[in-house]
């Protein structure tokens, strides 16, 4: 798993390392790693045009020293200085000695330098930056976005909050971010994720000084280790039994998608007891379909309740019935609307509960998500005593104790009707199998989000997707995560 850290945690970890190493040694280590990544991105370095956007802080120094290394390999490097009188002195000297040029940001030709560059390196602000970019910096960021060059951020893209991912105004649009020592939370969550691009981690030796992470990102290998395949001694009951209460006469597709996703995730057995029995029977003969609600479905190891189920009195009765059981329950869609009216239904539970709201559903519980998505998910989880899976571009999963996972997979193509029903089916199946393996509910939910995102990426390779494509591609996605089949998908961004 990849640990995720706040800016304050990283700064605190840097202090003893800075005290124990010669002055400037850590910056040289960072600059060497930064230059190496830039060199790989450029391919042949000789003759390539590199623009450095340089602020007054240490990130500007990192950019200057990295630029000096690239200039030493024959790149044509120009540093654009936002504050010429406060730029890193030793870095400037190193760049000039290697043949690099320097121009002030307010020079009439500075924008053209950026626009024509093959690679633009952003060292304007560091991890302590707050708020959007000021005018001079914003002009350079826009020039970088409009140009054809590769855009690379030093540690964090200037203009994003390194701890929350908040972007308040203009921020640097990085295709790649080379971060030092530890992955900052703001690179993988909120709007920051969209500005960070692919994240490359350069090891500075911070690990002994970092606290134990409370936020994580799973890799494919982590997920594969938590998706245990059946063994020779297993049967349909030992592999997990999931009950599905989704769909209705008005929305039968939700039941079909949710049940199909649960089946394709491969628990031992799926029992369907929702309001779209005919549709599920026709689509999925593998499911055991009963009518009359959860009471007649038989024993399960986890329930999924809510997608397309309605919000009338009958739906409320079903929700209360499953929340009164002693097995894990995943609550989604219409059931979230009902639960927001009676949150004590979940507060009273002793068995694990997973809630899967998007931002508008989250707001029904009394507060907006805001710009700190990790903080918001943690607050609602602590208030309700449940795992909260906050859906979005970077889905956040938090448990009442504050343990958090930020999902690193997915695609904007998933923003279409029915994909949430598929996620619920996947998560219900993982919860049911986790009942036998002892996997905590927060990890089960994080595994489901990762697998859902991977499936979306796989389905989107063939063009615009619909929710049914995810159900069809789920077995292949599971195989890819486990390392079976062509490795055409990347791992987590860090």
Contacts of 80 (CB under 8 A, 6+ apart): 51, 52, 53, 54, 103, 104, 105, 107, 110, 113, 114, 140
Nearest Cα neighbor of 134 from 56, 70, 201, 66 is 56
Residue 122 is assigned to a ligand binding site? yes
Residue 205 is assigned to a ligand binding site? no
Give Dmax (Cα) for the chain: 80
- Please give the radius of gyration of the chain, using alpha carbons only, rounded to the nearest integer: 25
Residue 312 is assigned to a ligand binding site? no
Residue 491 is assigned to a ligand binding site? no
Residue 126 is assigned to a ligand binding site? yes
Residue 452 is assigned to a ligand binding site? no
Residue 127 is assigned to a ligand binding site? yes
Q: Are residues 151 and 31 part of one domain?
A: yes
Residue 60 is assigned to a ligand binding site? yes
Residue 131 is assigned to a ligand binding site? yes
Residue 61 is assigned to a ligand binding site? yes
Residue 420 is assigned to a ligand binding site? yes
Q: Give the model's pLDDT for residue 430.
A: 97
Residue 407 is assigned to a ligand binding site? no
Letter string b/e over residues 11-39, b meaning 16 or more CB atoms within 10 A of that residue's CB: eebbeebeeeeeeeebbbbbbebbbebbb
Nearest Cα neighbor of 283 from 468, 470, 456 is 468
Q: Are residues 166 and 104 part of one domain?
A: yes
Residue 107 is assigned to a ligand binding site? no
Q: Are residues 301 and 197 part of one domain?
A: no
Count of alpha carbons within 13 angstroms of residue 50, beta-carbon side: 36
Q: Does the residue 352 lie in any domain? A: yes
Residue 128 is assigned to a ligand binding site? yes
Residue 88 is assigned to a ligand binding site? no
Q: Are residues 105 and 46 part of one domain?
A: yes
Q: Are residues 238 and 159 part of one domain?
A: no
Nearest Cα neighbor of 244 from 283, 189, 204, 187 is 283
Contacts of 366 (CB under 8 A, 6+ apart): none
Q: Are residues 234 and 107 part of one domain?
A: no
CA 96 vs CA 70, 78, 287, 289, 349: distances in Å? 12, 10, 70, 74, 66
Nearest Cα neighbor of 325 from 377, 364, 373, 273 is 273
Q: Are residues 251 and 160 part of one domain?
A: no
Q: Are residues 377 and 430 part of one domain?
A: yes
Residue 62 is assigned to a ligand binding site? yes
Q: Does the residue 492 lie in any domain? A: no
Find the CATH number of the domain harbouring 390.
Answer: 3.40.1190.20
Rounded-to-integer distance, Cα 256 and Cα 279, Å: 6
Residue 158 is assigned to a ligand binding site? yes
pTM of the model: 0.94
Residue 58 is assigned to a ligand binding site? yes
Tokens 């009195």 correspond to: 313
Strand partners, 245: 305
Q: Does the residue 205 lie in any domain? A: yes
pLDDT in tens, the chain (494 residues): 999 999 999 999 999 999 999 999 999 999 999 999 999 999 999 999 999 999 999 999 999 999 999 999 999 999 999 999 999 999 999 999 999 999 999 999 999 999 999 999 999 999 988 778 999 999 999 999 999 999 999 999 999 999 999 999 999 999 999 999 999 999 999 999 999 999 999 999 999 999 999 999 999 999 999 998 888 888 888 889 999 999 999 999 999 999 999 999 999 999 999 999 999 999 999 999 998 899 999 999 999 999 999 999 999 999 999 999 999 999 999 999 999 999 999 999 999 999 999 999 999 999 999 999 999 999 999 999 999 999 998 999 999 999 999 999 999 999 999 999 999 999 999 999 998 789 999 999 999 999 999 999 999 999 999 999 999 999 999 999 998 754 332 344 44
Residue 490 is assigned to a ligand binding site? no
Q: Are residues 229 and 197 part of one domain?
A: no
Residue 421 is assigned to a ligand binding site? yes
Find the CATH number of the domain harbouring 111.
Answer: 3.40.50.10260
- Tell me which of 213, 240, 270 is where a domain ends: 213
Q: Are residues 235 and 188 part of one domain?
A: no
Residue 335 is assigned to a ligand binding site? no
User: How many structural domains compose the chain?
Assistant: 2
Q: Give the model's pLDDT for residue 485.
A: 52
Residue 147 is assigned to a ligand binding site? no
Q: Does the residue 494 lie in any domain? A: no
Domain of 306 in residue numbering reads as 220-481
Alpha helix segments (H runs only) across 324-364? 334-341, 344-347, 359-363
**Using CA of residue 443, residue 448, residue 450, residue 451, what is the dihedral sign?**
positive
Residue 392 is assigned to a ligand binding site? yes
CA dihedral angle for residue 474, residue 475, residue 478, residue 484, rounded to 10 degrees: -140
Q: Does the residue 493 lie in any domain? A: no
Helix (H) / strand (E) element for 103: namely strand 101-104
């Amino acid at each position: 798993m990849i640990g995720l850290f706040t800016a304050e945690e990283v700064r605190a970890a840097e202090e003893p390392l800075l005290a124990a190493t010669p002055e400037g040694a850590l910056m040289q280590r960072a600059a060497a790693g930064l230059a190496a990544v830039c060199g790989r991105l450029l391919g042949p370095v000789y003759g390539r045009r590199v623009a450095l956007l340089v602020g007054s802080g240490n990130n500007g120094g990192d950019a200057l020293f990295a630029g000096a290394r690239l200039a030493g390999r024959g790149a044509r490097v120009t540093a654009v200085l936002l504050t010429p009188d406060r730029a890193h002195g030793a870095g400037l000297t190193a760049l000039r000695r290697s043949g690099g040029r320097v121009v002030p940001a307010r020079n009439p030709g500075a924008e053209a330098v950026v626009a024509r560059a093959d690679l633009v390196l952003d060292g304007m602000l560091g991890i302590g930056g707050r708020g959007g970019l000021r005018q001079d910096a914003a002009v350079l960021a826009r020039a970088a976005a409009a140009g054809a060059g590769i855009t690379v951020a030093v540690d964090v893209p200037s203009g994003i909050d390194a701890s929350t991912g908040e972007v308040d105004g203009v921020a640097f649009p990085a295709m790649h971010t080379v971060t030092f020592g530890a992955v900052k939370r703001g690179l993988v969550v909120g709007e920051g994720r969209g500005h960070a691009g692919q994240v490359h981690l350069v090891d500075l030796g911070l690990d002994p000084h970092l606290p134990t992470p409370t936020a994580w990102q799973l890799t494919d290998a982590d997920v594969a280790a938590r998706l245990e395949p059946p063994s020779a001694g297993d049967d349909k009951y030992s592999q997990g039994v999931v009950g599905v209460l989704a769909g209705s006469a008005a929305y039968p597709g939700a039941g079909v998608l949710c049940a199909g996703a649960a089946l394709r995730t491969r628990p031992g057995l799926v029992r369907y007891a929702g309001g779209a029995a005919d549709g599920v029977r026709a689509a999925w003969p593998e499911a055991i379909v009963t009518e009359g609600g959860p009471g007649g479905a038989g024993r399960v190891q986890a329930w999924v309740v809510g997608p397309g189920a309605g919000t009338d009195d009958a739906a409320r009765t079903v929700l209360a019935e499953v929340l009164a059981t002693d097995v894990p329950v995943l609550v989604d869609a219409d059931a979230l609307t009902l639960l927001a009216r009676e949150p004590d239904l979940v507060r009273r539970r002793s068995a694990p509960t997973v809630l899967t709201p998007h931002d508008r559903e989250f707001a029904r519980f009394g507060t907006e998500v805001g710009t700190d998505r990790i903080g918001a998910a943690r607050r609602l989880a602590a208030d309700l005593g449940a795992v909260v899976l906050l859906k979005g571009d970077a889905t956040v999963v938090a448990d009442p104790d504050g343990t958090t996972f930020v999902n690193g997979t997915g695609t904007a193509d998933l923003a279409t009707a029915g994909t949430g029903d598929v996620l619920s089916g996947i998560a219900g199946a993982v919860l049911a199998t986790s009942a036998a393996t002892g996997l905590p509910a927060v990890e089960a939910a994080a595994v489901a989000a990762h697998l859902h995102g991977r499936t979306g990426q796989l389905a989107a390779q063939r063009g615009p997707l619909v929710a049914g494509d995810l159900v069809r591609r789920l077995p292949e996605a599971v195989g890819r995560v486990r390392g079976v089949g062509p490795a055409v998908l990347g791992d987590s961004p860090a």
